[in-house]
Amino acid sequence: MTTTARHIDPTEQQVKTLAEAAKDNAEPVMMVNLLAFNDAGGRESYLRYAAEVQPHLDRVGATIVCVGDAAQVVIGEGAKPWWDTILIVRYPSRAKFLEMVLDPGYQAIAVHRTEALETSGLIATNPWTVEI
């Protein structure tokens, strides 16, 4: 992997920006996770996190839409993306996402996610208002 910065958790400003957006947007949100695992047991640690996070997802009404490993770049630079896995989770709202990640029970298991990742990206999306 060629990234230099380690992005695992949001900054205080990023959380504040998401909380502000949650006040004005009660629409469902797809959270796109780009995950680059540590070489030493990262995938296994993330699978442990995935098993333990499911009750928290269920509690806030979130569902996994898609998960898969990066295979190759079709359009763009390089032969393979910088991430190992992409995971898309649908939350009923940004507020529900924040409710989950700020819960002490969730935070207790998030250590497995932190241990698993070399770096990551997390993108909140806005739904389109037109059918395609």
**What's the predicted TM-score (pTM) here?**
0.88
Query: With bands split at pLDDT 50, 70 and 90, how would you rate the model's confidence at 21?
Result: confident
User: Residue 128 carries which DSSP code?
Assistant: P
pLDDT one-digit tens code per residue, 65-75: 999 999 999 99
> Residues 8, 101: contact at Cβ < 8 Å?
no
pLDDT one-digit tens code per residue, 32-83: 999 999 998 999 999 999 999 999 999 999 999 999 999 999 999 999 999 9
The predicted model gives 1-28 an average pLDDT of 79
Order across the sheet with 63-69: list the strands. Answer: 63-69, 85-91, 29-37, 117-124
- pLDDT at position 49 is 96
Q: Which domains does the chain have, with CATH numbers?
A: 12-124 (3.30.70.100)
> Residues 82, 36: contact at Cβ < 8 Å?
yes
